[in-house]
Amino acid sequence: MNPVVLRVFICVIWISVIGLVWLSITVRNPIATPLTQITPTETFTSTPAPTPTSIKTNYVGQVDLIIPVAGVRPDQLIDTFDDARAEGRVHDAIDIMAPAGTPVLAATGGKILKLFQSERGGTTIYQLSTDEKTVYYYAHLQGYADGLAEGKVVRQGEVIAYVGDTGNAGVGNYHLHFSIAAVSDPKRYWEGTNINPYPLLRSSVR
């Protein structure tokens, strides 16, 4: 055999032997690889969202009202709060239909702020709630109950007036125009944020 080829053959065998020896050593004693310490992940338990407190629709607090027209049931009410009116106005109140002269009742207890004759509302009443946060407006009245005066404190259910058709109600269109407003200054009782009376009265118990 050619001496050069023989030397190459011997080198190949030698390298193969060294490789096998090295492989056997690494298999028996694998090189230790630093382990990354894994910190347990904190488990978060979701807390159920609190159940909203039941409050009456469109009102910022709690209110206890009765329907302010004698003999009218909740299921007889019609929601006219968002109805359009002349001159681009919105009603911002509800109309409670009843025969002429039907007693109008104080929807809640409070003080009579103003007895007023209005071009639109006719004979009207502004009543302030006992907490002085809400004004109740009664309009198109036929007349006031005997003894009613500004500054008088009335009880819930007390007769304060009678259903009529004064102002722009239209002749023979007998009803009570009733509105509620949340006020920040009772001295400016004609201003405030209008609240829809319908859901409040609809849930009332007579």
Instruction: List the CATH number of the domain containing 78.
Output: 2.70.70.10
pLDDT in tens, 5-60: 666 667 667 676 666 666 666 555 544 444 444 444 443 334 343 333 233 344 44
Smallest CA-to-CA distance from 129 within 182, 92, 179, 93 is with 182
Relative to beta strand 103-105, strand 193-195 is unpaired
186 and 103 part of one domain: yes
User: Would you state the pLDDT for residue 153?
Assistant: 97
Q: How far is CA 52 from the centre of its chain?
A: 10
Residue 104 near residue 160 (C-beta atoms within 8 A): yes
How do the residues of the chain divide into helix, strand and coil, expressed in percent and rounded to 5? 20, 30, 50
Note the pTM of the prediction, 2 decimals: 0.67
- Which amino acid does the sequence have at 71? G
Domain span at residue 19?
Answer: 1-30
Task: Read off the amino acid at residue 47.
Answer: T
Same domain for 80 and 23: no
Angle, CA 127 vertex, CA 123 and CA 129 arms, to 5°: 165
| Same domain for 82 and 22 | no
As for how many domains the chain has, the answer is 2
The residues that bridge with 105 in the sheet, in sequence order, are 159
Give, as one character, the DSSP assignment of residue 69: B
- The answer on 196 and 144 residing in a single domain is yes
Indicate whether 86 belongs to any domain: yes
**How many other C-beta atoms can be found within 10 angstroms of the C-beta atom of residue 150?**
12
End-to-end CA distance of the chain: 123
Which has the closest alpha carbon to 123: 101, 97, 142, 105? 142
Q: Which residues are bridge partners to 162 per DSSP?
A: 103, 143
Distance (Å, whole) CA 150 – CA 138: 14
Residues 103 and 187 in one domain: yes
Whether pLDDT at 104 is above 60: yes
pLDDT digits (tens, 9 = 90+) for 66-79: 999 999 999 999 88
